[in-house]
């Protein structure tokens, strides 16, 4: 079988997951790196054993110099996703681009157009679709155990968790916790619900606590380039109600900074036959013989990060090599960006946005 040559554009924090997943895949050769930060570029090249002559600070130079590259991971900050992805697609590569797909739906549409025009795959990094918890819940949904799922709640709340660096800089991130964290849980719910289309959105965002620069407690996650006086012009809390074309409604909350006791991440689905909660373990709530019963699993169903990104990258490689249907295609990224755009628009105007 052909061995795919993989390039990674943007070798910061999350690229580690793509890189090590490529290294573990027998059908892939980790081949080239690109990053505008030269120091980081060569440090990562040494760490992961990529030859110096296959390291570039400019994506276009890399794509021109190494036409043998087959696949590309785009793991830059959000504002560079569109330009890097489109350049790689136009150079004839298949691409996996990290979430969020882009800064907005308009950019996302242009990325898909480039994929279609060049007949290449564009997969979006909706990594939670590959989680063990997702699989368990999806098995029950597919078997009809939940009946009609008509309401869902998803939260991804940090107390002191603005990572700084580009995450707080709207010109590079496109927004705060909604586009960074909310995207994961909105996508997971939408995927579990069978990818219904959004029809209306009501959203609110708040910028009250900023990035808590004077708070002494450790942040959970700090950007590689974070500094004390980083710009912070993104929301610190977002909340939204999203209505889908199958009648289901999702309520979502995401924060970087919030006066909450401890960070919270949770997804709950409510159906006519049963409901469930995904965190910390999957539990199902239903009726049996006219009693309310709670179903727990014998197996550990907590989301495991062990192998999560490998599952995603292996799927990407399988799609490219074998033509397997992609479970996270570009259209899903566009649909997500339409939702996120609508939340920000609704928050700006104070009114519901009809999609």
- CB-closest chain residue to ligand NAD: 12
306: tokens are 């062990």
- Length of the chain in terms of residues written: 355
* By the rule CB under 6 A, 14 interacts with ligand NAD: yes
Least distance in angstroms from the C-beta of 90 to ligand NAD: 15
* By the rule CB under 6 A, 85 interacts with ligand NAD: no
* By the rule CB under 6 A, 175 interacts with ligand NAD: no
Give the contact letters, 86-125, x = binds to ligand NAD (CB under 6 A), - = no.
------------xx-------------------------x
For residue 100, cis peptide bond before it (omega within 30 degrees of 0): yes
Q: How far is CA 131 from CA 31, 128, 220, 273, 275, in A?
A: 27, 5, 21, 24, 19
* By the rule CB under 6 A, 146 interacts with ligand NAD: no
Q: Pick from 25, 73, 75, 310 the residue near ligand NAD by CB under 6 A.
A: 75
Least distance in angstroms from the C-beta of 76 to ligand NAD: 4
Instruction: Map residue 249 onto helix, strand or coil.
Output: strand
- When the beta carbons of 78 and 314 are compared against ligand NAD, the nearer one is 78
**Contact window for ligand NAD (CB under 6 A) among 12-20, 234-242, 255-263, 327-335:** 12-20
* By the rule CB under 6 A, 60 interacts with ligand NAD: no
Q: Pick from 59, 120, 190, 219 the residue near ligand NAD by CB under 6 A.
A: 59
Beta bridge partners of 74: 9, 97
In sequence order, what are the residues at sequence separation of 6 or more whose Cβ sits closer than 8 angstroms to the Cβ of residue 127? Answer: 99, 184, 308, 309, 312
Percent helix / strand / coil, the chain, rounded to 5: 35, 25, 35
Strands 198-206 and 353-354, by their bridges, are antiparallel
- When the beta carbons of 39 and 299 are compared against ligand NAD, the nearer one is 39
- What is the maximum span of the chain, computed from C-alpha positions, in angstroms? 69
Q: Which residues bind ligand NAD (CB under 6 A)?
A: 9-15, 34-37, 40, 59, 75-78, 80, 84, 98-99, 125, 127, 165-166, 180, 223-225
């Amino acid at each position: 079988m052909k061995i795919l040559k993989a390039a990674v554009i943007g070798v910061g924090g999350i690229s580690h997951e793509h890189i090590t997943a490529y290294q573990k895949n027998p059908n892939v050769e980790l081949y080239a790196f690109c990053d505008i930060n030269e120091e980081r570029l060569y440090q990562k090249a040494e760490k992961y054993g990529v030859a110096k002559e296959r390291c570039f600070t400019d994506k276009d130079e890399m794509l021109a110099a190494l036409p043998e590259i087959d696949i590309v991971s785009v793991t830059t900050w959000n504002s560079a996703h569109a330009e890097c992805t489109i350049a790689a697609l136009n150079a004839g590569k298949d691409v996996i681009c990290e979430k969020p797909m882009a800064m907005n739906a308009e950019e996302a549409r242009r990325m898909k157009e480039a994929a279609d025009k060049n007949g290449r795959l564009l997969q979006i990094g909706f990594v939670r679709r590959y989680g063990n918890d997702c699989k368990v819940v999806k098995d029950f949904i597919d078997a009809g155990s939940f009946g009609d799922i008509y309401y869902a709640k998803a939260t991804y709340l940090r107390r002191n968790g603005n990572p700084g660096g580009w995450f707080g800089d709207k010109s590079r991130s496109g927004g705060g916790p909604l586009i960074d964290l909310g995207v994961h849980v909105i996508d997971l719910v939408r995927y579990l619900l069978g990818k219904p289309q959004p029809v209306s959105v009501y959203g609110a965002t708040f910028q009250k606590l900023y990035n808590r620069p004077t708070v002494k407690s450790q942040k959970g996650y700090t950007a590689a380039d974070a500094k004390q006086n980083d710009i912070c012009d993104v929301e610190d809390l977002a909340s939204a109600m999203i209505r889908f074309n199958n009648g289901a409604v999702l309520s979502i909350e995401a924060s970087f900074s919030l006066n909450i006791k401890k960070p919270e991440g949770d997804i709950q689905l409510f159906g006519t036959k049963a409901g469930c909660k995904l965190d910390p373990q999957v539990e199902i709530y239903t009726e049996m013989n006219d009693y309310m019963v709670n179903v727990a699993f014998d197996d550990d169903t907590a989301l495991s990060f062990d192998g999560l990104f490998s599952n995603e990258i292996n799927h990407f490689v399988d799609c490219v090599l074998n033509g397997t249907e992609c479970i996270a295609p570009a259209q899903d990224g566009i649909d997500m960006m339409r939702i996120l755009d609508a939340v920000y628009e609704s928050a700006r105007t104070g009114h519901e946005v009809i999609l």
